[in-house]
Amino acid sequence: MQNDDIEFINCANVLKAIETDLNQPSRAQIAKYLGLSRTAVSMVVKKLIAANLVTELEIEKSGRGRPGTPLALDGSYWHAIGAAYSLRLWTFCVVNLNGQPILTHKEHVETTDQDETVEVLIRGLRHVESKVDKPLLPGYGIGPPGLIDPKTGTVFRADDMGWIKELPLKRLVEEATGKKAFIINRYRANGVAELTFGGHDLTKNIMYIGVGTGIAGSVYFEGTLLNSTKYRFGHMVIDPHGPLCGCGQYGCLQAMASEKALLSYAHAKMEEDPTFLASYADQPITAKLLIDLAEQGDVHAQSCLSHIASALGIAILTIANVIAPDEVVIGGPIGEASTFLVDEIRKAAYDHLLDWQVKALTISKGSQGDYGSVLGAAAFLLEQKMELLLGEGCPTIS
């Protein structure tokens, strides 16, 4: 099927109705919901069942008449591989069609060199694939660091990795494996996981902010990810007189609120004031140490987190006045680890919003943990299942 023909569109709409919009609907319920004829829906469902995307459930008899057969996503057949990078580590997972993980694997990367990073990624993909005896979608969902062109799958820079040369990741993976690669920034992948598995109201507009060695944002309108390079949340200028960012600008959000900014502020305060974190002067000051101390009530560590919270609050304030999201979720390795940080971000944003904006905006902490990015990368691949199995160039299923 062509991806833009009416047959493909009907298949996609029926699958979405079964997967997310309706609860175990019958063919008649789908027809009514989508405004299609029962005959058209029945033909589409036949194709989806033949493609092992949909299954029929047992009929529960109640009252008179023959009830329609309930339909659900078939989570037993197809599986998907996801991969995501963080702290010189590629994490891999295999999930079923419902997003439930059945296997995880990790591969260490010795350096931040682009060639080695790709080499370890491809090695890990092959290893995981060899361990799975289930049918796999013919593609991979991959969450690298950096700014990514969603059309070409090219990482055109990753300042926190020192990558200023373009990395054609999609092309390299596809040439090495013969399968399609779908590339999404690692923190945006975490956002996909949060929206897919975090129990959020998908009818609302949600902004996800991942905070770690870098900063990236995802925008969702009514559950749909805006996958574009036209916004670079981490490089929103917060203070034009602020610190120099790796991108060449001054005062970017990433330069003022990432892990590097947090540690730079802590070290600067320690140099200014010998009593600042004096009990920990003989050990490495890490983001984890500062977060743990802040959660325990250490005022010095809390001041460090409050410093980056101020910049994040200003960023949210700007977003709130432009796209007015219903919810902002703070995630990533730092965001998810610190309740104190999220509380401070909330205060920093709410202090400058109007009363009605405060009532309309929820700021919450992400919930996906260490495997959020890789689960999100796999979920990003699952979103492409129609294209991979029934799209242009795929075998015709009748």
Q: Kindly report the CATH number assigned to the domain that includes residue 252.
A: 3.30.420.40
Phi, then psi, of 41 in degrees rounded to 5: -65, -40
Chain position carrying tokens 């602020």: 242
Residues 329 and 230 reside in one and the same domain: yes
| Residue 308 CB burial class (10 angstroms; 0-12, 13-18, ≥19) | buried
What are the strands, taking DSSP E only, across 161-221?
180-183, 206-211, 215-221
**What is the amino acid identity at position 254?**
Q
Phi-psi region of 335 (alpha: psi -120 to 50; beta: other; left: phi over 0): alpha
- Nearest-angstrom CA–CA distance, 49 and 33: 20
Q: At residue 1, does pLDDT exceed 80? A: no
Residues 280 and 328 reside in one and the same domain: yes
- Report the largest interatomic distance among the alpha carbons of the chain, rounded to a whole angstrom: 81
State pTM to two decimals: 0.84
| Residue 133 CB burial class (10 angstroms; 0-12, 13-18, ≥19) | exposed
Q: Is residue 236 part of a domain?
A: yes
Which residue pairs from 3-6 have beta carbons closer than 8 angstroms and sit at least 24 positions apart in sequence? Answer: 3/387, 3/391, 3/392
Asked if residue 386 lies in contact with residue 137, where contact means CB atoms within 8 angstroms, the answer is no
Q: Is residue 396 part of a domain?
A: no
Please tell me what DSSP assigns to residue 73: E
- Nearest-angstrom CA–CA distance, 388 and 3: 10
Find the helix or strand (DSSP H, E) in which 137 lies: strand 136-143
**How many C-beta atoms lie closer than 10 Å to residue 223's C-beta?**
16
**How many C-beta atoms lie closer than 10 Å to residue 119's C-beta?**
15
At 263-286, the pLDDT tens digits run: 999 999 999 999 999 999 889 999
Residues 231 and 335 reside in one and the same domain: yes
Q: Which residue has the higher pLDDT, 122 or 246?
A: 122
Q: Among 54-68, 273-287, 379-393, which range has the highest average pLDDT?
A: 273-287
- Nearest-angstrom CA–CA distance, 169 and 174: 8
Tell me what pLDDT residue 367 has: 87
Residues 138 and 249 reside in one and the same domain: no
Question: Residue 215 corresponds to which tokens in the numbers above?
Answer: 């900063």
Residues 141 and 248 reside in one and the same domain: no
Mean pLDDT lowest for which of 8-17, 133-142, 172-181, 190-199?
A: 190-199
Kind of pairing between the strands at 215-221 and 224-225: antiparallel
How many distinct helices (H) and strands (E) make up the chain?
Answer: 15, 14
Question: Residue 205 corresponds to which tokens in the numbers above?
Answer: 């507009």
Rg of the chain over Cα atoms, rounded to whole angstroms, equals 23
Q: Is residue 327 part of a domain?
A: yes
- Nearest-angstrom CA–CA distance, 202 and 215: 23
Residues 108 and 131 reside in one and the same domain: yes
376: confidence class by pLDDT, cuts 50, 70, 90:
very high
Q: Is residue 398 part of a domain?
A: no
Q: At residue 331, does pLDDT exceed 50? A: yes
Residues 68 and 90 reside in one and the same domain: no
At 68-126, the pLDDT tens digits run: 899 999 999 999 999 999 889 999 999 999 999 999 999 999 999 999 999 999 999 99
Q: What is the CATH number of the domain that holds 21?
A: 1.10.10.10
Q: Is residue 229 part of a domain?
A: yes
Mean pLDDT for the chain? 91
Q: At residue 395, does pLDDT exceed 50? A: no
Phi, then psi, of 246 in degrees rounded to 5: -60, -20
Residues 105 and 164 reside in one and the same domain: yes
Last residue of a domain, one of 16, 47, 73: 73
Tell me what pLDDT residue 398 has: 43
Q: Is residue 196 part of a domain?
A: no
Q: Among candidates 77, 1, 96, which has minimal Cα distance to 43?
A: 1
At 35-45, the pLDDT tens digits run: 999 999 999 99
Q: Is residue 273 part of a domain?
A: yes
Tell me what pLDDT residue 3 has: 58
Asked if residue 292 lies in contact with residue 334, where contact means CB atoms within 8 angstroms, the answer is no
198: confidence class by pLDDT, cuts 50, 70, 90:
confident
Q: Is residue 38 part of a domain?
A: yes
2: confidence class by pLDDT, cuts 50, 70, 90:
low
Find the helix or strand (DSSP H, E) in which 55 lies: strand 54-56
Tell me what pLDDT residue 396 has: 44
Tell me what pLDDT residue 392 has: 64
Per-residue pLDDT averaged across 335-352, rounded? 96
Tell me what pLDDT residue 63 has: 59
Strands ordered across the beta sheet of 362-365: 224-225, 215-221, 206-211, 327-331, 362-365
Residues 165 and 41 reside in one and the same domain: no
Residues 99 and 43 reside in one and the same domain: no
Question: Residue 269 corresponds to which tokens in the numbers above?
Answer: 């305060």
Chain position carrying tokens 């990753």: 158
Q: Among candidates 193, 188, 192, 196, which has minimal Cα distance to 212?
A: 188
Per-residue pLDDT averaged across 214-228, rounded? 80
Q: What is the span of the domain harbouring residue 50?
A: 6-73
Look at the chain and report how many structural domains it folds into. Answer: 3
Residues 54 and 84 reside in one and the same domain: no
Last residue of a domain, one of 22, 52, 73: 73
Asked if residue 255 lies in contact with residue 244, where contact means CB atoms within 8 angstroms, the answer is yes
Asked if residue 389 lies in contact with residue 207, where contact means CB atoms within 8 angstroms, the answer is no
Residues 246 and 353 reside in one and the same domain: yes
Last residue of a domain, one of 73, 88, 114: 73
